[in-house]
Amino acid sequence: MIHLDSLALAAMAAALSAGCSGSDAAPQLTTRSALPTLASLPDENPDPGALEVSMRAETATKQYPGADPTEVWAYAGTVPGPLLEAKVGTELTVHFSNALPEATTIHWHGVRLPAAMDGTMLMQDAIQPGQGFEYSFTLKDAGLFWFHPHVRSDVQVEKGLHGAILVRGKDEPTVDHETVLVLDDVRVNPDGTFPEFLDDASKMMGREGNVLLVNGASGPEIPMQSGALERLRFVNVANGRFFNLRLEGHTLRVIGTDGGLVEQPWDTDTLLIAPGERYDVVLIPIGEPGASITLWNDPYSRGHGTTAAAPEALAAVRLADSVAPTVRSLPSAFPAVEKLPAPPGDVPVVLGEKFDDKGEVVFTINGQAYPNVPVVQTAKGSVRTLAVKNDSDMDHPFHLHGFFFQRQSDTGTLKNKDTIIVKAHESMALTARFDEPGKWVYHCHILEHAEGGMIGELDVQ
């Protein structure tokens, strides 16, 4: 393992923070736009147990603040892509067509499905321009999931290809309003183009944008009502940015995460969400009718001396002119999550970084970069524990396709996760039941890290 030169890294870190707060930063907004409603697609199947949609990936134009119009890549013409909403148990069919100038696939992040539908190139050929593919699978779990390409994901997701899937179960709390919030950032040049080449800091840390976005808008107003029970469903679709949320003067109650509701909700003043993760929170906002409450993105250092700048205003909650008519209370318990057995970690997954002979940073698993990472074989139905160890100086959001995992010795309530922050030099035991055959991947969800080698393969037979 080559040790990284700390001076070079400090310089990269400085460049990274300068890039985020310096001259190419987005101008401060004086007026706020309303939170965009996520698009939806018409259901082509009258069967209430089925959701069948047609969706095309295509180029579109989007206006980011402080820049000329940008050519984006979009599902159904919108960034973010459409929100797919269904009940648990629904058979989802997506007639997908690729009108992009390059090949793509769709990966259904967090959804437990047959491997052939997972959208990795281990299981399907990339869908060429002008071609299509029919994705079809049952939505087995309630929760907020999302979809994005698994080909050149660092480029394709950044260009706008991502959308959310909201699956409702039978234990949903009764709330006054529920809002899906897609958190993102993009790096756009003043002429509206995306930078063609990554600077060293972005290669090292994953690219962070100069425009922060909530449902595709910069600094929007999220409508809420004082005294009402509000439910917010967050997904972070950014390439590299971690969002560390804080709603001025309010505590958030976390009721669920990637794999659905948790038995014991917990309260927090800040909510850290890495790329790929989801959180489900409730709150009862309190304030004067009409008041505006800032949703901050607080500094968080994810390693290599990236001292983040000051808090940034991500959005504002705008309270309605009326208050909720009756007293609400926050939900405090949900049905128990089934606990997996906890065998010792016998699948080593060491996350590392090194420089190759050309001086380019390479991200590794067990010392190798994909596709040279040795394949993990496991029997169908086996319960195995990944001994994940972060051997690098920065956090990596570890993501497993196709299965939820549970962190052994997790503090607090049991959680089904598919993406988890493994902090710099942290180790953790993650247990999953590999009950679906096929070839799967696991990887860091900083997309520049995944594309830079931090992907491993898992073969369940």
Nearest to 161 by CA among 192, 130, 182, 144: 182
Tokens 């942290």 found at: 426
- 181-220 footprint of Cu ion as x/- string (CB under 5 A): ----------------------------------------
Q: By Cβ distance, which residue is nearest to ligand C2O?
A: 109
Residues 262-281 that bind ligand C2O (CB under 6 A): 276
Q: Which of 189, 206, 216, 268 is nearest to 74 (CA)?
A: 216
Cα 77 from Cα 82, distance rounded (Å): 9
Q: Which does 396 bind (CB under 5 to 8 A by kind): ligand C2O, Cu ion, none?
A: Cu ion
Cβ distance 389 to 407 under 8 Å? no
| Residue 107 is a binding residue for ligand C2O (CB under 6 A) | yes
Contact code string over 417-446 relative to ligand C2O, x by CB under 6 A? ------------------------x-x-x-
Per-position x/- string for 395-414, each x denoting binding to Cu ion as judged by CB under 5 A, each - no binding:
-x------------------
Would you say 20 or 57 has its CB closer to ligand C2O? Answer: 57
Residue 446: contacted member of Cu ion, ligand C2O, none (CB under 5 to 8 Å, by partner type): Cu ion
Q: What is the DSSP letter of 204?
A: H
Residue 411 CA to residue 29 CA, distance in Å, equals 40
Q: How far is 342 from 112, CA to CA, in rounded Å?
A: 21
Binding ligand C2O (rule: CB under 6 A), the pick from 16, 41, 109, 252 is: 109
Residue entry with tokens 């205003």: 313
Answer yes or no: are the C-beta atoms of 169 and 260 closer than 8 Å.
yes
Minimum distance of Cu ion from residue 450's CB (angstroms): 7
| 276 binds, options ligand C2O, Cu ion, none, Cβ within 5 to 8 A by partner type | ligand C2O
Tell me the two tokens of residue 170.
Answer: 């039978």
Binding mask 147-186 for ligand C2O (x = CB under 6 A): -x-x------------------------------------
Q: Is residue 396 near ligand C2O by the rule CB under 6 A?
A: no
**Distance between CA 415 and CA 398 in Å, rounded?**
15
Confirm or reject binding of residue 399 to ligand C2O (CB under 6 A).
yes
3 state SS of 116: helix
Which two structure tokens, joined as six digits, stand for 199? Answer: 């600077």
**Alpha carbon distance, N-terminus to C-terminus of the chain:** 33
| Contact in structure between 198 and 117 (CB atoms under 8 Å) | no
Among 449, 453, 455, 458, binds Cu ion (CB under 5 A): 449
Q: How far is CA 417 from CA 137, 256, 308, in A?
A: 20, 10, 27
The answer to whether residue 446 forms part of the interface with Cu ion (CB under 5 A) is yes
Min dist CB 325 to ligand C2O, Å, is: 41
User: Which residues in this chain contact ligand C2O in the complex, by CB under 6 A?
Assistant: 107, 109, 148, 150, 276, 399, 401, 441, 443, 445
Residues that bind Cu ion (CB under 5 A): 396, 444, 446, 449
